[in-house]
Amino acid sequence: MTMPTGGINDEFYMRLALQLAASASGQTGINPVVGCVLVKEGRVVGMGAHLKRGEAHAEIHALQMAGRQAQGSTVYVTLEPCSHHGKTPPCSDRLIREGVKRVVIAATDPNPLVAGSGIAKLRASGIEVTTGVLEREAVKLNEAFNKFIVTRQPFVTVKSASTLDGKIAARTGDSKWITGDGSRSYVHTLRHRHQAIMVGIGTVLADDPALTTRLPVPGLNPIRVVVDSTLRIPRDARLVRDGEAPTVVLTTERAPQARRRELETLGVEVIDCGPGPAVDLRAAMERLGEREIGSLLVEGGGKLSGALLEARLVDKLVLFYAPKIIGGGAAAPGNFDFPGFGRMREAIALERLEVERFDNDICISGYPRYE
Ligand code: AOF
Ligand code: ZN
């Protein structure tokens, strides 16, 4: 950690709290990641992070570590302390009871049950509260939670890996490998960080993917979601038989009943999303939200990514480009396959762009701006 110019200040400890929060990315389900640091008389006396939904919040872990030293301390917390009784009692009440002197907060909690009332409670009890310290970083860390908690719909990230000319396979179908090891290993980190992963049935039939998280250290496997309007998924597909993670198939009311029963017997959850003929993607997001899936990583192919983008259901794009050109015209599938717009000014523009390099690959991420 680098010391900010001017020496130790609020940002210094908030950065530490943000690091604690980030270390739990992907493991709190629909809950936010939160980090907390307690400082008293020039030393850190407690640290904590929220590690799992249903378990203690960050502040409680940090208070626990600080013990009697919590009294008179300054609390650095990346999210406004809660004021409601959820699966755990309110953190703001506990901070008041422990006699902390000052609370420094990065972001307010968008949860309608909290939304400023945690801050108000602390202030009303005479605690000095400072807000907005490293707020942008804190908001970004919980972008999925921030959407889900107000809409009850998953935050949708579409990932693609293509050549510079936007192809996700050659005209022969060959696609192994487009991007390099660095990019592919980062995709596994993304899998760990998402509650669910989605592909179209075309990808299942072509690649028989496992969609599990494979990293040098054990990671969490996302729930696997297949968009399959006519239930073509084979009974011997990896997703059906490997038992590595739950598999959910999204289909329509007109899908064959016998296939539905067969899949259910094999442990696959089948969910109807509209009358058909195609899966209603908007309904699909509602069903997944009801199932408490708050973050969804879409890993193709081009038809599904294109359809989601066209339906304006994509919140974030993470696009890997390998420095290669494969050509192949219409026979080689592209990363976004949809009818498209007639005018350049209708194009979906990305904002808040970030560009990273993974070896020789370039990763562009951004947020579609829907007018
Ligand atoms: C905090 N500190 O570390 C977290 C907070 O069901 P519960 O009790 O876990 O409450 C979940 C809600 O509490 C969640 O939606 C969000 O508003 C807040 N999360 N708050 O003060 C924490 N994880
Ligand atoms: Zn709390």
**Alpha carbon 158 to chain centroid distance?**
11
Q: Count of domains in the chain?
A: 2
Position 353 confidence tier, pLDDT thresholds 50, 70, 90: very high
CA-closest residue to ligand 1 atom 21:
81
Tell me the best of 53, 57, 63 to mutate to test the pocket of ligand 1, counting ligand atoms within 8 Å of each CB and taking the most: 57
The predicted structure's pLDDT at residue 209 = 96
Question: Pick from 88, 121, 144: which residue ends a domain?
Answer: 144
In a domain, 274, yes or no: yes
Under 8 Å between Cβ of 199 and 239: no
Ligand 1 pocket check for 276: Cβ under 6 Å:
no
What token pair was written down for 182? 């660095």
Question: Pick from 144, 178, 193: which residue ends a domain?
Answer: 144
The predicted structure's pLDDT at residue 371 = 78
Question: Pick from 111, 127, 144: which residue ends a domain?
Answer: 144
In a domain, 299, yes or no: yes
The predicted structure's pLDDT at residue 4 = 53
Q: Which ligand is nearest to the CA of 35?
A: 1
- Ligand 1 nearest atom to the CA of residue 81, by list position: 21
| Residues 194, 144: Cα–Cα separation, whole Å | 9
The predicted structure's pLDDT at residue 42 = 94
Give the mean pLDDT of 2-10.
Answer: 70
Does one domain contain both 137 and 158? Answer: no
Does one domain contain both 122 and 267? Answer: no
- Whether the link from the prior residue into 177 is cis, omega within 30° of 0, is yes
Does one domain contain both 132 and 168? Answer: no
In a domain, 3, yes or no: no
Does one domain contain both 345 and 223? Answer: yes
What token pair was written down for 18? 């943000």
Ligand 1 pocket check for 79: Cβ under 6 Å:
yes
Cα of 32 vs centre of ligand 1, distance in Å, is 7
pTM of the model: 0.94
Does one domain contain both 133 and 190? Answer: no
- Whether the link from the prior residue into 301 is cis, omega within 30° of 0, is yes
pLDDT at residue 88 above 90?
no
Tell me the best of 28, 31, 93 to mutate to test the pocket of ligand 1, counting ligand atoms within 8 Å of each CB and taking the most: 31
Under 8 Å between Cβ of 92 and 130: no
Q: Which ligand is nearest to the CA of 80?
A: 1
Spatial CA neighbour of 13 closest among 41, 43, 33, 34: 43
Task: Look over the chain and give the mean of its residue pLDDT values, rounded to a whole number.
Answer: 96
Does one domain contain both 132 and 157? Answer: no
Give the mean pLDDT of 177-187.
Answer: 95
Cα of 28 vs centre of ligand 2, distance in Å, is 13
Does one domain contain both 120 and 159? Answer: no
Does one domain contain both 175 and 195? Answer: yes
Position 63 confidence tier, pLDDT thresholds 50, 70, 90: very high
Does one domain contain both 130 and 209? Answer: no
In a domain, 2, yes or no: no
Ligand 1 pocket check for 106: Cβ under 6 Å:
no
185 appears as a binding residue in the annotation = no
Ligand 1 pocket check for 59: Cβ under 6 Å:
yes
* ipTM reported for the complex, 2 dp: 0.90
| Residues 208, 205: Cα–Cα separation, whole Å | 6
DSSP 8-state class, residue 334? B
Q: What residues contact residue 304 under an 8 Å CB cut-off, 6+ apart? A: 198, 199, 200, 202, 203, 227, 298
Amino acid in the structure at residue 125: S
CA-closest residue to ligand 1 atom 17:
111
The predicted structure's pLDDT at residue 40 = 97
Ligand 1 pocket check for 31: Cβ under 6 Å:
yes
**What CATH number did the domain enclosing 259 receive?**
3.40.430.10
Position 81 confidence tier, pLDDT thresholds 50, 70, 90: very high
pLDDT at residue 86 above 90?
no
Spatial CA neighbour of 253 closest among 280, 237, 273: 273
pLDDT over 90 percentage in the chain: 93
The predicted structure's pLDDT at residue 3 = 53
In a domain, 303, yes or no: yes
Which residues are identified as catalytic? 59
**What CATH number did the domain enclosing 113 receive?**
3.40.140.10
How distant, in Å, are the alpha carbons of 91, 142, 198, 279, 297 from that of 155? 26, 10, 12, 19, 9
Does one domain contain both 113 and 85? Answer: yes
Give the mean pLDDT of 233-262.
Answer: 97
Cα of 31 vs centre of ligand 1, distance in Å, is 6
Position 80 confidence tier, pLDDT thresholds 50, 70, 90: very high
Ligand 1 pocket check for 83: Cβ under 6 Å:
no
Q: What are the pLDDT digits (tens) for 254-308?
A: 999 999 999 999 999 999 999 989 999 999 999 999 999 999 999 978 999 999 9
Does one domain contain both 227 and 126? Answer: no
The predicted structure's pLDDT at residue 1 = 55
Cα of 54 vs centre of ligand 2, distance in Å, is 11
Does one domain contain both 183 and 47? Answer: no
Q: State the residue range of the domain holding 93.
A: 10-144
pLDDT at residue 143 above 60?
yes
330 appears as a binding residue in the annotation = no
Under 8 Å between Cβ of 162 and 318: no
Give the mean pLDDT of 320-333.
Answer: 97
In a domain, 67, yes or no: yes
pLDDT at residue 2 above 70?
no
In a domain, 5, yes or no: no
- Ligand 1 nearest atom to the CA of residue 145, by list position: 15
Helix (H) or strand (E) holding 47: strand 43-49
In a domain, 138, yes or no: yes
